[in-house]
């Protein structure tokens, strides 16, 4: 199932060429950022110090990489073995996702070489960011180790493969612990900014909102990515379409329940602080679009898709949910943030910020493709068939 070595000419596929251009451009902009400063490559200001790179690359990226802990928990802690075929692609996506979050962060930080400082020079443990930095660092390590079984099988390193295999349960527990912490704390960052985040999104419970929506994001990304992989990497896939559809339908059931829960707690948050009157404002309209169009609607989609056993409906709902999570994170960090500032002081991303973001996503896709075509991600390695 491994690809034979390609001749140079065959490497020049349209995808490869476009990806190379995007990545080269991204690298160039990254270089420019370090030569001329953030001001030259972003539209960040004193009013809006956090833009697309934090709002999307970091915050949204972390939410969308949540499939890893969701599915490993389901398979290894709850014993739902029928989802085993999607564990490896999910963990790989998680690892690549978090690695790219770190890349996005490093480009955005004023002095990225000082990133270890909170742990080796001076700690600021009262900061939500301290906890996030610690947990993301540990979780990236966890995901890396969880990704190594496939690599070791491919390399034929049996002893190491056995070793990391024996750590699965511990890593899964650790991963769920770390994910609960940092997914919710990304929301908790905004507890320190009660006047700057619009009341409809700000809540004492924002950490819970972020955690529950992260699970919804994880489930939806498992469906979306899984469906794409099964089509694009058809030759690598081992399980039948029927089996994959069954997995999709099962995920749809989970998605319905999680989205309903999320919907309820978002409505509850309005009630708790008596914010109903904000719904009649323009920001209220934005909120309702997010809540009704991208939470309630896909919830119904999952609900019906599961009942009627319609994988296509579930896939569409998953796509809508993913867009909804992106929308929510951008609302919290950019659109509904600094909501009282006059329009001329608000933020629109610089094209270079957008390019770098696209480049980061492209890098993830390229790495994913390279690994999936070589390592036992979408299929089992013949020597390790049926093993844990």
Partner 1 sequence: MSVSRRGFLQGMAAGTLAAGTAGAAGFKHFEGYPGRYGLLHDVNLCVGCRSCEVACNQVNDNPPPEPPTADKSVFTKMRRPTSKQYTVVNRYLNEADGKPPVYRKQQCMHCNEPCCASVCFVHAFTKTPEGPVLYDPSVCVGCRYCVNACPYYALSYEYEKPFEPRVVRCTMCYPRIKKGLKPACAEACPMGAIKFGRREELIKLARERIRKRPADYIDHVYGEHEFGGTSWLVIGGTSFAKLGLFEGVTHESIPELGSGFLSVVPLIVSVYPGLLAGIYAFSKRKERLAREEREAAVSEAVSKASEETKQKLSAAADKAKKDKDNAVAQAVKKALAEAEKASGKEVSK
Partner 2 sequence: MYHTMQDFLTFTKGSCYILAGLAVVIFIPFWLFLTDREKKN
Distance set, CA 66 to CA 94, 98, 127, 216, 383 (Å): 7, 10, 23, 9, 30
Give the Cα separation of 139 and 54 in Å (integer): 19
* Burial of 31 from C-beta contacts in 10 A (0-12 / 13-18 / 19+): exposed
- By beta-carbon proximity to partner 2, the closer residue of 123 and 354 is 123
Element (H, E) at 278: none
Q: Out of 22, 29, 44, 322, point to the residue binding partner 1 (CB under 8 A).
A: 44
Would you give the binding string for partner 1 spanning residues 196-235, x where CB under 8 A is met? x-------xx-xx---------------------------
Task: Using alpha carbons, select from 253, 182, 269 the residue that is nearest to residue 219.
Answer: 253
Distance CA(64)–CA(364), nearest Å, equals 13
180 interface partner picked from partner 2, partner 1, none, CB below 5 to 8 A per type: partner 1
214 versus 224: smaller Cβ distance to partner 1: 214
Q: Are 255 and 302 in contact (CB under 8 A)?
A: yes
Residue partners of 97: CB distance under 8 A and separation at least 6:
61, 62, 64, 65, 68, 364
Q: Which does 109 bind (CB under 5 to 8 A by kind): partner 2, partner 1, none?
A: partner 1
Q: Which stretch binds partner 1 (CB under 8 A): 110-118, 150-158, 285-293, 314-322?
A: 110-118
**Interface with partner 1 includes 42 (CB under 8 A)?**
yes
> Contacting partner 1 (CB under 8 A), which of 5, 10, 111, 386?
111
Q: Is 79 in the site for partner 1 (CB under 8 A)?
A: yes
Tell me if 280 contacts partner 1 by CB under 8 A: no
CB under 8 A: which stretch of 1-9, 59-67, 192-200, 304-312 binds partner 1?
192-200
CB of 172 to partner 1, least distance (A): 8
Distance CA 326, CA 64 (A): 8
Binding status of residue 180 toward partner 1 by CB under 8 A: yes
44 binds, among partner 2, partner 1, none (CB under 5 to 8 A by kind): partner 1
Query: Is residue 24 near partner 1 by the rule CB under 8 A?
Result: no
3-state secondary structure (DSSP) of residue 205: coil
Quick one: which of 118, 165, 284, 293 contacts partner 1 (CB under 8 A)?
118
Q: Is 370 exposed, middle or buried (0-12, 13-18, 19+ CB in 10 A)?
A: exposed
Which helix (H) or strand (E) segment holds residue 299: the answer is helix 297-307
Give the nearer residue to partner 1 in terms of CB position, either 103 or 303: 103
Closest CA to 68 of 296, 259, 222, 253: 222
Task: Measure the CA–CA gap between 275 and 344, rounded to whole angstroms.
Answer: 27
Q: Count residues near partner 1 (CB under 8 A).
A: 59
User: Which of 125/271 has CB closer to partner 2?
Assistant: 125
Query: Which residues partner with 197 through β-bridges?
Result: 337
**Gap between the Cα atoms of 227 and 332, Å rounded:** 29
38 belongs to the binding site for partner 1 (CB under 8 A): yes
Q: Minimal CA–CA distance to 204: which of 195, 191, 193, 192?
A: 191
**Stretches 16-24, 173-181, 241-249, 252-260: which one binds partner 1 (CB under 8 A)?**
173-181
- List of residues contacting partner 2 (CB under 8 A): 123-126, 134, 170, 174, 177
Which two structure tokens, joined as six digits, stand for 76? Answer: 């290894």
| Binder of residue 121, out of partner 1, partner 2, none (CB less than 5 to 8 A by kind) | partner 1
Residues that bind partner 1 (CB under 8 A): 33-40, 42, 44-47, 49-50, 76-79, 109-112, 114-115, 117-118, 121-124, 126-131, 133, 169, 173, 176-177, 180-181, 184-185, 188-189, 191-196, 204-205, 207-208, 342
């Amino acid at each position: 199932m491994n690809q034979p070595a390609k001749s140079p000419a065959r490497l020049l596929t349209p995808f490869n060429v476009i990806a190379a251009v995007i990545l080269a451009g991204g690298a160039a902009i990254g270089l420019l950022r370090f030569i001329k400063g953030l001001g030259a490559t972003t539209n960040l200001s004193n009013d809006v110090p956090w833009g697309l790179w934090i709002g999307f690359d970091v915050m949204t990226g972390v939410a969308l990489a949540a499939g890893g802990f969701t599915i490993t928990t389901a398979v290894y802690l709850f014993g739902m073995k029928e989802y085993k075929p999607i564990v490896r692609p999910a963990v790989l996506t998680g690892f690549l996702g978090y690695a790219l979050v770190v890349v996005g962060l490093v480009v955005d930080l004023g002095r990225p070489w000082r990133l270890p400082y909170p742990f080796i020079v001076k700690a600021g443990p009262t900061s939500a960011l301290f906890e996030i930095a610690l947990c993301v660092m540990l979780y990236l390590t966890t995901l890396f180790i969880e990704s190594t079984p496939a690599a070791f099988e491919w390399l034929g390193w049996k002893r190491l493969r056995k070793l990391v295999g024996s750590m699965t349960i511990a890593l899964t527990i650790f991963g769920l612990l770390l994910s609960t912490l940092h997914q919710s704390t990304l929301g908790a960052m905004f507890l320190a900014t009660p006047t700057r985040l619009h009341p409809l999104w700000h809540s004492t419970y924002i950490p819970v909102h972020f955690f529950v929506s992260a699970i919804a994001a994880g489930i939806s990304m498992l469906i979306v990515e899984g469906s794409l992989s099964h089509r694009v990497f058809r030759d690598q896939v081992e399980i039948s379409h029927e089996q994959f559809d069954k997995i999709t339908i099962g995920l749809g059931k989970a998605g319905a329940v999680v989205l309903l829960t999320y919907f309820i707690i978002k409505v509850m948050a309005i009630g708790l602080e008596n914010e109903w009157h904000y719904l009649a404002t323009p920001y209220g309209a934005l909120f309702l679009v997010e809540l009704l169009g991208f939470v309630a609607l896909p919830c119904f989609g999952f609900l019906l898709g599961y009942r009627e056993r319609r994988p296509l409906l579930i896939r569409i709902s998953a796509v809508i949910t993913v867009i909804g999570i992106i929308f929510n994170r951008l609302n919290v960090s950019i659109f509904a943030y600094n909501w009282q500032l006059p329009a001329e002081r608000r933020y629109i991303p610089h094209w270079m910020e957008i390019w770098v973001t696209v480049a980061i996503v492209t890098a993830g896709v390229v790495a994913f493709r390279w690994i999936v075509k070589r390592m036992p991600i979408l299929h089992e390695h013949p020597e390790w068939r049926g093993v844990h």
